Amino acid sequence: GILRYWYDGNNPNVFIEVLSGLPERTQQFNDDYAFWKLADMIRHSEKLRALVKKFEGAAFFEELKNHEKGRSFLSQYEEFLEVSFYRGHADRDIYFARRIEDPTIDYEALRMLSRAEDLVSPEEREEKLNQRRQIATAEVIENLSKQALGDLKVSVFKFLVNYSLRFFTGRDDSRPMSDIITFQKKLVLCEFGHRTVSRGLLKGDHDFYFLSLDELSRLLEGSEPLTLARAKVAARRKGFNLFLTHKEDPPLFLKGNMPMDEGEAIGRDNDGVLKGVGTSRGSVTGRVRIIPTLKDIGRLEKGDILVCHGTDPGWTSAFSIVGGVVAQTGGMLAHFSCLSREYGLPAVSLPNAMKLIKDGAVIIVNGDSGEVRVVSG
């Protein structure tokens, strides 16, 4: 971009810094902050910490009713749930449960956050990021203003930065409505699915997800052969399960019906270094935790390196405790990249990371160079 050709200062991370943080709070920030406060209540209560440790999933929320502090927490959680009921699903896919449908989603995140110590509050983090952005922006403006056509370059730079920040704000603020609409569609489709089971057409409540809308309509009308429909469900579910467990990842891009060549495969050199693309500055050493799906988020502990396929807003709570992020997909504007910059975490985009790095290994993540160095494991 223009910074590569125009900026000749000494800050190699200036591009990342001028896009760090947002000038105004979004609904996503408010949701994340509200959830952080809930986790903070558990951290500061011996009774709540004991309950979250002893009771799992829905049993934890049920047990809260039997204790005074538990009822106080539950009251605030229910207020939070009224506003953010639609959050918590993975990858914006209607197949996955929302927090209103599955208490385990929030339980795992609360349990993870309640174990951590010395967590930085979202407000404090927001203030630091905004200061970093303002300092970097002022530095670039000063640098460009001293060049030929400096006024023009400064004007272009300001326009592009402001446009980018408005885009990020608009993107985050559009997500809640998009998620609510998607959830409403899910409720309608689930009713169709329930009818296929009640009529004895399909066996499982989730089977209908593996039929197209036309196939589902024909099945309910009686024009879709039952044996064929069940065979389609079985075959597609098998392929989907391979995708969920990342035993077989689909190609990122197709040209027609054929996978596109993504270029030279990434491997490990003799020094144990994997080369990806740095998307958030900094370097950190930590233990790898491979988290294939959102339901595994409770395995994370303070300082772990999150290695995953990618993230969406449902993963936000994990960024409060991890030391760095390595994701298989996404670039500079991917969710994990933007959130890593907001949290000040080193991040690298590395194709096939979940296969190239072992769970429990110790690695160094360098968000400046895009390198991931395997120290042990």
Q: Which domains are seen in the chain, by residue range?
A: 1-191 (no CATH), 192-259 (no CATH), 273-376 (3.50.30.10)
pLDDT at 262 over 60: no
d(CA 93, CA 131): 36
Of the pLDDT bands very low, low, confident and very high (cuts 50, 70, 90), residue 270 is low
Q: Write the pLDDT tens digit of every residue in 309-338.
A: 899 877 888 998 999 999 998 888 888 998
- CA dist list (Å): 357 to 290, 353, 368: 8, 6, 19
Across 259-286, average pLDDT: 77
Of the pLDDT bands very low, low, confident and very high (cuts 50, 70, 90), residue 12 is confident
- CA dist list (Å): 23 to 60, 141, 168, 177, 325: 38, 18, 10, 21, 24
Q: Write the pLDDT tens digit of every residue in 23-66.
A: 999 988 898 899 999 999 999 999 999 999 999 999 999 999 99
Of the pLDDT bands very low, low, confident and very high (cuts 50, 70, 90), residue 204 is very high
Across 260-286, average pLDDT: 77
Looking at residue 264, its pLDDT comes to 46
Across 360-367, average pLDDT: 96
Looking at residue 265, its pLDDT comes to 47
pLDDT at 376 over 50: yes
Of the pLDDT bands very low, low, confident and very high (cuts 50, 70, 90), residue 266 is low
**By percentage, how much of the chain surpasses pLDDT 90?**
61
pLDDT at 19 over 70: yes
d(CA 359, CA 304): 11
Looking at residue 6, its pLDDT comes to 95
Stated pTM of the model: 0.81
Q: Give residue 256's region: left, alpha or beta (phi > 0; psi -120 to 50).
A: left
User: Could you write out the three-class secondary structure of 276-308?
Assistant: CEEEECCEEEEEEEECCCHHHHHHCCCCCEEEE
- CA dist list (Å): 150 to 143, 192, 203: 9, 62, 69
Of the pLDDT bands very low, low, confident and very high (cuts 50, 70, 90), residue 75 is very high
Of the pLDDT bands very low, low, confident and very high (cuts 50, 70, 90), residue 345 is very high
